[in-house]
Amino acid sequence: MNINSRAIQDSVEVLSNKKVGAYNHMVFAVGDMASHAKPGNFVAISVGGPSSSLILRRAFAIYRSSNRGAYGGTIELVVAAHGTGSKWLSERSVHERVDMVGPLGTAFGIPTEPVNALLVGGGYGSAPLFGLAEVLKARGCRVDMVLGASVAGKIYAPLEGKRSVNVMTLTTEDGSAGVKGRVTDVMPQIIERNQVEIIYSCGPMAMLEAVNQVAEGANVLHQCAVEESMACGIGVCMTCVVPMRDSAGVIKMQRSCIEGPVVDGSQVVWGSERKIAQGTWGAPQ
């Protein structure tokens, strides 16, 4: 396995920390780390400070990376301050330093020829799709995006999304922005109208499962970034496992941080609810 062979650990400087709606947009000076980062990769950050009892790192999907500019390589993250660790990170000031390991995990597969792509994101989990959209557009792909959330305030940077894609569609469950409903309510029409050939998705697991059902119904390839808690980020702790079928149809518990987070949606055993799926290789029968 060479997935994380280019990952490095470094003390990186906070260049910017701005509040954007319900989230924090943060930029870090990371040097050479940025040159190997791809859409779908993530970083693992030590949180809480040197005397903290928070011994496990927190994983954050890379929003965008750049190896150009006055500060050399930079990585951008979108942070939702839900738990103690993410709240601590969101409170870091400019010029403070944090301990970061990255880039980690698998990246989205980029087609070698122009295709019609649909990007589907939920809440702040949609962050990796913005950088992906730019890469796909550079390849000559048509890129449509659907962003959804429970309320308008939880959709990250919809105006930026509009600049990155051909057509942007917003959905909210309460109808406060865009179409009232969920992302899957608008997907079938977009797939048919634009002859979508591949779907990329990021967001909560329940949303990814629903997106996969639509993709399979339309016979469209689906790559998704599974959202599981990654305590170590390097494949040691086994807290982020997801049941998946291999090419032979055998179900195995795969690590989101190594075999994922980007996986083929058709191979995930959906609905396992963090339990060992029936028929999993090596499990008691």
CB atoms inside a 10 Å sphere around CB 174: 10
Give the pLDDT score at 169. 94
Give the pLDDT score at 167. 93
pLDDT at position 116 over 60: yes
Tens digits of residue pLDDT in 171-217: 999 999 899 999 999 999 999 999 999 999 999 899 999 999 999 99
Residue 243, preceding peptide bond in cis (omega within 30° of 0) = no
- Here the tokens at position 28 are 């870090």
Tens digits of residue pLDDT in 256-266: 999 999 999 99
pLDDT at position 1 over 60: no
Tens digits of residue pLDDT in 44-76: 999 998 878 888 889 999 999 998 766 789 999
**The domain 227-285 belongs to what CATH superfamily?**
Dihydroorotate dehydrogenase, electron transfer subunit (2.10.240.10)
CA–CA separation, 200 vs 10, rounded Å?
A: 30
Q: Which of 254, 255, 181, 194 is nearest to 220 (CA)?
A: 194
Tens digits of residue pLDDT in 138-147: 999 999 999 9
Backbone angles phi, psi at 154, to 5 degrees: -100, 5
Give the pLDDT score at 248. 83
Average pLDDT, the chain: 90
Give the pLDDT score at 195. 97
SS3 call for 28:
strand
Task: Delimit the domains of the chain by residue range.
Answer: 8-104, 108-225, 227-285
pLDDT at position 99 over 60: yes
Q: Going by CATH, does the domain composed of 108-225 fall within 3.40.50.12780? A: no
Backbone angles phi, psi at 24, to 5 degrees: -110, 130
In this structure, are residues 252 and 229 in contact, taking their beta carbons and an 8 Å threshold?
no
- Class of domain 8-104 as given by CATH: mainly beta
More confident residue, 97 or 160: 97
Q: Which of 40, 166, 148 is nearest to 158 (CA)?
A: 148
pLDDT at position 284 over 60: no
CB atoms inside a 10 Å sphere around CB 143: 24
Tens digits of residue pLDDT in 23-46: 999 999 999 999 999 999 999 999
